[in-house]
Amino acid sequence: MRRFSSIIITVLVGIFCLLPGTAIGGKRLSATSEQLQALYVQRLVKYVSWPESVRPDKNKPFIIAATDIKKLRPYFGQKNDATRFKLVQWPAEGAHVLVINGAPNREVAAILKRTANLPLLTIGQSQANLRCGVIINFYMSQGKLKLQINPTAAGQAGLFISSRLMKIARIYGGKK
Amino acid sequence: MQRLVAVGQILTALMFSFFFCAGFAYCSDYDELATLELEELMDVEVVTTSSRRSEPLTQVAGAVVVLDEEDIFHSGATTLPEVLKLVPGVHVSQMDLDKWAIGIRGFNGILSNKHLVMIDGRPITSPTTGDVSWGSNVSLSDIKRIEIVRGTWTHLWGVDSFTGVINVITKTAAETQGGQSVTVAGTSGIEQSFRYGGTIGDNGHYRAYVGGWEKNGNWTSTSEDNRSSSDWSKKQGEVRIDWENAFTDSLSFQGGFADGSIKDGAGGSGRIYMPHMRDNTNAFGQFTWNRALGLDSGINFRTSYTYTDITVDDLKGGTNTVDADLEYAAEQNGIHRMTMGIGSRYYWDDIRSGTNTSIDRQRRYTFAANGFVQDRITLSEDSTYLTLGTKLDLLRNSQVEVQPTIRLLHTYEDMEFWGAISRAVRADTRWQRSGSYKINVKGEEYTVYAPDSLSTEKLISYEAGYRQRVTPDLHWDVSLYINEYDELIMLEYDKATRTASLDNSLKGTSYGVETFLEWDAYEWLALTPSASVIYQNIYGHEKSPLGNSMPEEGVAYELKVQTRIKTTDNTGFDFLIGYMKGPTDKNVPGYLCLEAHTYWKATDTLMLELIGRNLSEASEQYSSLHVGPSADLRVTWNF
């Protein structure tokens, strides 16, 4: 009995010793690139305004299209996401967002050429995508995923980017 | 004792706490991430997932294997046919110094192979004889991957691809920048090549290649036959220019020239002719334009010109082929994904008959055209696909052949099941319909006459397969097929006149199974065991088809194990051991194959390899010539 109680005490002391370290030091969060992209997409829609004719009703989900749906699927449809977002494979009718995640540059260029004047928030992940007219681009900086915004492309698509998003992102001013 | 108990208690506490906290942290990561605002996401560190090596195509309803640069390197091959030995169901036998008998699912005769071989989409299977000049094609260091399709895919590739397709994809000019020197020297001869790649403006790249060899091979003679070919010399050059902008188009031009000679010993084939010096010149040019139209969608146009010298005994001449293809791959539209295309080929030659071997000069021009359409229908999202397709081939004499297929693929977690039924035809070659030559059958000489009245060979193919990624390090693939043949071309013999003529009188069924495992057992050890078995029940008017590399009745099989051992980061050892029994000539006994390859990456730019082939024994692989052991040193220097 004495031995059992000493084990319990030891375990509790051990946990006690380790927990404060986490609380005091602050846990450094990490995620996979795909997971982070999914989280970004789910938040970005709050900072973009679509024309009234295509904006989803309050009770209807945003339609998120992706060129490789399999990479994003594990990070959608969890908890409240299922009702707020509908993830579909590109090409798709009526999509609000297009995530370009895994397609050759020339195919991306062809897609962006076709969708340039549509109210579609295009999100890419390379400088080549940005040069071809993607509206938001992910880029890596010191091991973290950051955002670039192409306001010209957004204007051509008829989308309005909030000032808050413009403040935290790097603005792309190159030729489209 | 008490101290030990105390230490145990502390360790227990630490382990328990570690797992408890780790589990807590894992569970809380998603919850915490889900609550972060946009600005906070920018502080989350990205972790990468481990990448895997290139693997067989997993979304194809067919038996497809892709060999990548790593596979080619570890094979230790110095020629393209040696690489193909890795694939179960592909029969590779060396007949002579510059001749290989290669077949897919049977038919590995030098003049009766029934598959299509392409380099970057350009057919190199000869429209004249149906064979491939394996000695004059592509530098192995320029190959990016080789796609081997076993089975009937004539609905896409047409009448030349009766039993399969071998498509060699070379690296782009952008992927071969800088200089490279490759030297191979050893018992089989010496070979040297140089390659240099550079840029043209912002979006263009080029590469140029020159090379040559002097080879005598590794042949051992028997007392009955000592006529292997020798003194094979070759010089060749190639150039490739690619242009790709940041937008939708890419353009590519390739051109090449090869010139060589060989002392043909006339012992490597069943035909009878005198040993002689044979010159050989080949040239080609190809232009490709591709425009992307969307996701996995685009238009591709390809046109090429190929010149090939042909020499059979005292028959000599040159053949010319111009072809063009236009393909359109549509974007996914609902449940449909359409692919369609048209193509044409114009062939002409100037071949001068000899005294012993001749060919009809009246039919020197051939025009053929084709069109195909394929629809992949998604029956169940991400899991079940139905493919319907057909090709129409317009052959000589305005004959039209329809070659349809129906294919089903079902995927479930890491498993894939597929099945297919296809109809295929194969047209006769210029040589089969108008050539005359002498052959040796069981020691007797026959003169073969072509009737010029042959119809197409027919095939109904039933295929099924299963693939599974059992663990991240273990992949299993098995394919089964039943091929029902009709009107296959065979030789009919007249013993009285000692003549033979070609006839569409051969028919029958072949049954086969091919399987392989890819197992990365340890970080330093990878194993790829494979097996293929084929049973051919093929018969004609004669009791059993004879000569001119006809398929033989009975069972043939190949068992192979490829092993890769990585001894250090810069050194390794690979070997292939197998038992080979070809499906075409039952008079050639099965033989043991043992090949070894070891490498040392001396610096970032210098690679040394020692390559040994046929190390077990000198053996007949197809012809009566014995292929002996060889050892070569290969030095690759990048600059």
A18/B246 CB distance under 8 A: no
- Please compute the mean of the pLDDT values over residues B213-225 and round it to a whole number: 69
Query: Does pLDDT of B9 surpass 80?
Result: no
**What's the Cα-to-Cα distance from B152 to each of B102, B134, B355, B463, rounded to whole Å?**
16, 23, 39, 9
Is B275's pLDDT higher than 50?
Answer: yes
Which chain A residues are closer than 8 Å to B291 by Cβ?
106, 110
- A162 at interface of B, judged by CB pairs closer than 8 A: no
The nearest alpha carbon in chain B to A129 belongs to: B246
pLDDT at A70: 84
DSSP B132: B
Query: Cα–Cα distances in Å, from B611 out to A153, B182, B629?
Result: 56, 14, 11
Q: What is the pLDDT of residues B78-107, one digit of tens each?
A: 999 999 999 998 988 888 888 888 889 988
Q: Does residue B41 belong to the interface with chain A, where contact is any CB pair within 8 Å?
A: yes
The pLDDT value given to residue B106:
86
Mean of the pLDDT values across residues B4-15?
A: 45
Taking only the tens place, the pLDDT of each residue in B456-490 is 999 999 999 999 989 889 999 999 999 999 998 88
Which pLDDT score, from 0 to 100, does residue B136 have?
A: 65
Residues of B in contact with A43 (CB under 8 A): 37-38, 41
Within 8 A of A144 by CB-CB distance, chain B residues are: 42-46
Q: CATH number for the domain including B482? A: 2.40.170.20
Interatomic CA distance for residues A6 and B11, integer angstroms: 13
How far apart, in whole angstroms, are the C-alpha atoms of residue B454 and residue B503? Answer: 7
Of A10-14, B501-505, B572-576, B594-598, the one with minimum mean pLDDT is A10-14
Burial of B347 (0-12, 13-18, 19+ CB in 10 A): buried
* A121 pLDDT higher than 60: yes
Kindly state the percentage of chain B with pLDDT values over 70.
Answer: 86
For residue B24, being part of any structural domain is answered with: no
Q: Which residues 100-129 of A have a C-beta within 8 angstroms of B? A: 103-107, 109-111, 113-114, 128
Model confidence at B625, in pLDDT bands (50, 70, 90)? confident
Query: Is the pLDDT assigned to residue B113 strictly greater than 80?
Result: no
Best probe of the B interface among A28, A37, A39, A76, by most B CBs < 10 A, is A39
Q: What is the mean pLDDT of the segment spanning B537-551?
A: 64
Residue in B38, B247, B294 closest to A114 by CB: B294
Q: 286-305 in B: which are within 8 Å (CB) of A? A: 290-298
**In chain A, which residues have their Cβ closer than 8 Å to the Cβ of B333?**
91
In this predicted structure, which of B152-166, B261-275, B622-636 has the lowest mean pLDDT?
Answer: B261-275
Task: Examine the pLDDT at B242 and tell me if it is beyond 90.
Answer: yes
A139: closest chain B residue by CA: B42
pLDDT (0 to 100) of residue A97: 94
Q: B48 touching A, CB under 8 A?
A: yes
CA distance B405 to B389: 5
Residue B566, pLDDT > 80, answer yes
Query: How crowded is residue B529: how many other Cβ atoms within 10 Å of its Cβ?
Result: 17
Say yes or no to pLDDT of B23 above 50: no
Q: Is residue B444 part of a domain?
A: yes
Rounded Cα distance, A22 and A28, in Å: 9
Q: Which residues contact A22 (CB under 8 A, 6 or more apart)?
A: B21, B25
What is the average per-residue pLDDT within A4-30? 50
- Would you say residue B278 has pLDDT above 90? no
Q: What is the mean pLDDT of residues A142-154?
A: 87
Backbone angles phi, psi at A5, to 5 degrees: -65, -35
Range of the domain at B485: 63-638
B39 touches chain A (CB under 8 A): yes
- Across the interface, of B34, B47, B297, the residue whose CB is closest to A30 is B47
Q: Does some domain include residue B25?
A: no
Report how far Cα B487 is from the mean position of its chain's Cα atoms.
26
Closest Cβ–Cβ partner in B13, B290, B296 for A11: B13
Burial class of residue B549, CB neighbours in 10 A (0-12, 13-18, 19+)? buried
Residue B548 has pLDDT above 70, yes or no: no
Q: Strand pairing of B457-471 and A160-161? A: unpaired
Report the pLDDT averaged over residues B213-217: 87
> How far is it, in rounded angstroms, from Cα B367 to Cα B330?
28
Q: What is the pLDDT of residue B239?
A: 96
Contact A109 B292 (CB under 8 A): yes
- CATH code: domain A33-171 is 3.40.50
- Give the integer Cα–Cα distance in Å for B577 and B615: 10
Whether the pLDDT of residue A19 is over 80: the answer is: no
Q: Which residues of B60-84 are buried (b: 16+ CB within 10 A; e: fewer)?
A: bbbbbbbbebebbbbbbbbbbbbbb
- Is the four-CA dihedral B413, B414, B419, B420 of positive or negative sign? positive
CA gap B630, B634 in Å, rounded: 13
Q: What is the mean pLDDT of residues B318-337?
A: 92
pLDDT at residue B30 is higher than 80 = no
Q: Indicate if the pLDDT at residue B204 is higher than 80.
A: yes
C-alpha B249/C-alpha B243 separation (Å) is 8
Do the Cβ atoms of A10 and B5 come within 8 Å?
no
Residues 6+ apart with CB under 8 A from A168: A147, B38, B39, B42
| B480: exposed, middle or buried (Cβ count in 10 Å: 0-12, 13-18, 19+) | middle
Residue-level pLDDT at A28 = 59
CA dist A21 → A14, A25, B6, B414 (Å): 12, 6, 24, 41
Return d(Cα B146, Cα B92) in angstroms, integer: 15
Answer whether B18 touches A (CB < 8 Å): yes
Chain A interface includes B21 (CB < 8 A): yes
> Which pLDDT belongs to residue B423?
96
Position A81 scores a pLDDT of: 60
Work out the minimum CA distance from A75 to partner chain B, whole angstroms: 10
Please name the residue of chain B whose CA is at the shortest distance from the CA of residue A127.
B246
Verdict on whether the full-model pTM lies above 0.95: no
In whole angstroms, what is the distance from residue B136 CA to residue B236 CA?
A: 8
Residue ranges per structural domain of chain A: 33-171
- Residue pointed to by tokens 């193919």: B461
For the stretch B443-455, pLDDT in tens is 778 888 877 778 8
From B25, B250, B382, residue closest to A27, measured CB to CB: B25
B37 contact residues in A (CB cutoff 8 A): 43
Mean pLDDT of B137-160: 90
Find, among B190, B121, B181, the residue nearest to B156 by Cα: B121
C-alpha A106/C-alpha B113 separation (Å) is 38
Instruction: Give the C-alpha separation, B342 to B323, whole Å.
Output: 11
pLDDT at A24: 37
* Interchain contact A148–B (C-beta under 8 A): no
Contacting B residues, span 240-279, partner chain A, CB-CB under 8 Å: 244, 246-250
pLDDT at A176 over 50: no
Cβ of residue B47 closer than 8 Å to a chain A Cβ = yes
Domain tally, chain B: 1
Residues in chain B: 639
DSSP-derived 3-state class of residue B200: strand
Tell me the per-residue pLDDT of B352-399, one tens digit each, with 9 for 90 and over: 877 777 777 666 788 999 999 999 999 998 789 999 999 999 987 788
Q: How far is B468 from chain A (nearest CA, A)?
A: 18
